[in-house]
């Protein structure tokens, strides 16, 4: 029996260390890399694919009047597959990168289903303006991490194989059927746009607040009580304006008309000064915009920590109390606090910025287990 030829596995770029010169999402496309000779941006010559800043391996030591070199320094790409597959071939193109290509790469395949990872290529060399093909032992994977030693450009990375019999379940975004209220800022977009975000565009779109925000929020009224077990916050294409952190809390509410009172117990932003003193403003945004912290009688009122205050006894339960966010990244949070089934989800991020996609997945309780049954 003739073995089945490997086929291209559809992929998307989840995250990367840097791609200051290009739109790195082109690197996982099946399309032939374009010849952009003579095409320029404010950054110089325009290339297709992924190209990093220079000098990743070298650090300036000014006080010693020296330079430090790290042979193991690298840039990286993290690629997600749209289906779980047995990967048997990796093709890497440096087309059009004639002297600024990545010199060597290592490739690690990760499988979230089995919790395994395998390094299938180790510092293999890449030639300028060339196509490279690497056959590997079939390896199950849902994601791929490419380590680029030390810097440079790659125009295309395609992975080939066969879809596995076991595939991750297709689940509905529970926010898609939710009502939305308590939105703090909709200056450039709305939470609803983020709920619908599926990376269909090649530009920023979604929910982006104005720069005067100091902590944004949106409340989702779920269609039915749900145990949230996975959260996606996608800052796709938001390269210079993502929020710095996100926070998710849940609430089980049997009487909707009490929501207004319960919102008074929602987590709030507080300042913590170097002497240990804390301030929880009634209106944190107004407090920060007016620089009212300069009026606080503390040793250093110009520097302080900002924390989320979750009042003891609050009916709000933490689902994801604190998570840092990166630019242009598909954040997948599946290690969450056990908040049980919730009817309302409060999503918050700090301080402001853009979110392309916002998804939450979970399972509904049986009717006998639902609150009030």
CATH number at residue 345: 2.60.120.260
Q: Are residues 117 and 184 in the same domain?
A: no
Q: Are residues 101 and 182 in the same domain?
A: no
More confident site: 162 or 261: 162
Q: Are residues 153 and 180 in the same domain?
A: no
Encode pLDDT of 223-236 as tens digits.
999 999 999 999 99
Q: Are residues 155 and 204 in the same domain?
A: no
Q: Are residues 130 and 249 in the same domain?
A: no
Q: Is residue 168 part of a domain?
A: no
Which is it for strands 305-309 and 354-355: parallel, antiparallel or unpaired? unpaired
Tokens of 275: 């002497």
> What number is the average pLDDT over the span 291-305?
97
Residue-range definition of the domain harbouring residue 148: 7-163
Q: Are residues 208 and 329 in the same domain?
A: yes
CB of 91 closer than 8 Å to CB of 132: yes
| Among 163, 197, 232, residue at a domain's last position | 163
Tokens of 222: 């779920």
pLDDT band, very low/low/confident/very high, at 158 (cuts 50, 70, 90): very high
Q: Is residue 288 part of a domain?
A: no
Q: Is 358 a residue whose pLDDT tops 80?
A: yes
CB hemisphere CA count around 294 (13 angstroms): 4
| Among 163, 184, 200, residue at a domain's last position | 163
> What number is the average pLDDT over the span 44-69?
96
Q: Is residue 278 part of a domain?
A: no
Cα gap 48→61, rounded to integer Å: 34
Q: Percentage helix, strand, coil, to 5, in the chain?
A: 10, 45, 45
* pLDDT at residue number 372: 39
Q: Are residues 117 and 233 in the same domain?
A: no
* Residue-by-residue DSSP string for 186-225: -SS--HHHHHT--S-SSS--SEE--TT-SSEEEEEEEEEE
Buried b (16+ CB within 10 A) or exposed e, 26-46: bbbbeeebeeeeeeeeeeeeb
Q: Is residue 284 part of a domain?
A: no
pLDDT band, very low/low/confident/very high, at 364 (cuts 50, 70, 90): confident
Q: Are residues 86 and 220 in the same domain?
A: no
Cα gap 294→300, rounded to integer Å: 9
Phi, psi of 316 (to 5 degrees): -75, 135
Q: Is residue 112 part of a domain?
A: yes
Q: Are residues 92 and 139 in the same domain?
A: yes
Q: Is residue 114 part of a domain?
A: yes
Closest CA to 240 of 66, 47, 19: 19
Q: Is 286 a residue whose pLDDT tops 70?
A: yes
Q: Are residues 54 and 115 in the same domain?
A: yes
Q: Is 370 a residue whose pLDDT tops 50?
A: no
Domain count, the chain: 2
Encode pLDDT of 187-196 as tens digits.
899 999 999 9
Q: Are residues 109 and 21 in the same domain?
A: yes
Q: Is residue 287 part of a domain?
A: no
| Predicted structure pTM score | 0.94
């Amino acid at each position: 029996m003739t073995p089945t030829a490997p086929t291209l596995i559809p992929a998307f770029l989840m995250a990367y260390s840097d791609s200051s010169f290009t739109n790195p999402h082109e690197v996982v496309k099946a399309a032939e890399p374009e010849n952009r000779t003579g095409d320029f941006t404010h950054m110089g010559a325009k290339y297709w694919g992924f190209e990093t800043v220079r000098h990743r391996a070298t650090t300036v030591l000014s006080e010693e009047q020296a330079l430090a070199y790290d042979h193991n320094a690298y840039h990286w790409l993290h690629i997600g597959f749209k289906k779980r597959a047995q990967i048997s071939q990796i093709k890497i193109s440096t087309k059009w990168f004639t002297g600024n290509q990545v010199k060597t790469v290592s490739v690690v395949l990760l499988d979230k289903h089995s919790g395994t990872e395998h390094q299938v290529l180790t510092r293999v060399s890449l030639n300028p303006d060339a196509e490279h093909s690497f056959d590997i032992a079939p390896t199950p994977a849902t994601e791929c991490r490419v380590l680029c030693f030390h810097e440079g450009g790659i125009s295309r990375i395609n992975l080939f194989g066969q879809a596995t019999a076991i595939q991750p379940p297709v689940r509905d975004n529970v926010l898609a059927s939710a009502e939305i209220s308590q939105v703090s800022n909709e200056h450039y977009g709305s939470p609803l746009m983020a709920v619908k975000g599926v990376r269909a565009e090649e530009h920023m779109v979604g929910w982006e607040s104005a720069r005067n925000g100091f902590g944004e929020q949106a409340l989702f009224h779920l269609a039915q009580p749900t145990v949230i077990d996975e959260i996606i916050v996608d800052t796709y294409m938001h390269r210079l304006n993502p929020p710095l952190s996100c926070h998710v809390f849940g609430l089980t509410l049997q009487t909707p008309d009490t929501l207004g009172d319960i919102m008074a117990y929602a987590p709030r932003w507080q300042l913590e000064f170097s002497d240990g003193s804390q301030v929880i403003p009634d209106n944190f945004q107004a407090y920060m915009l007016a620089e009212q912290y300069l009026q606080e009688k503390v040793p250093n009122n110009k520097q302080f920590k900002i924390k989320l205050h979750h009042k003891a006894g609050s009916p709000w339960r933490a689902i994801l109390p604190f998570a840092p966010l990166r630019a242009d990244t598909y954040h997948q949070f599946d290690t969450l606090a056990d908040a049980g089934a919730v009817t309302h989800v409060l999503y918050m991020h700090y301080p402001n910025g853009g979110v392309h996609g916002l998804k939450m997945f979970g399972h509904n309780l049986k009717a006998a287990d639902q609150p009030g049954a």
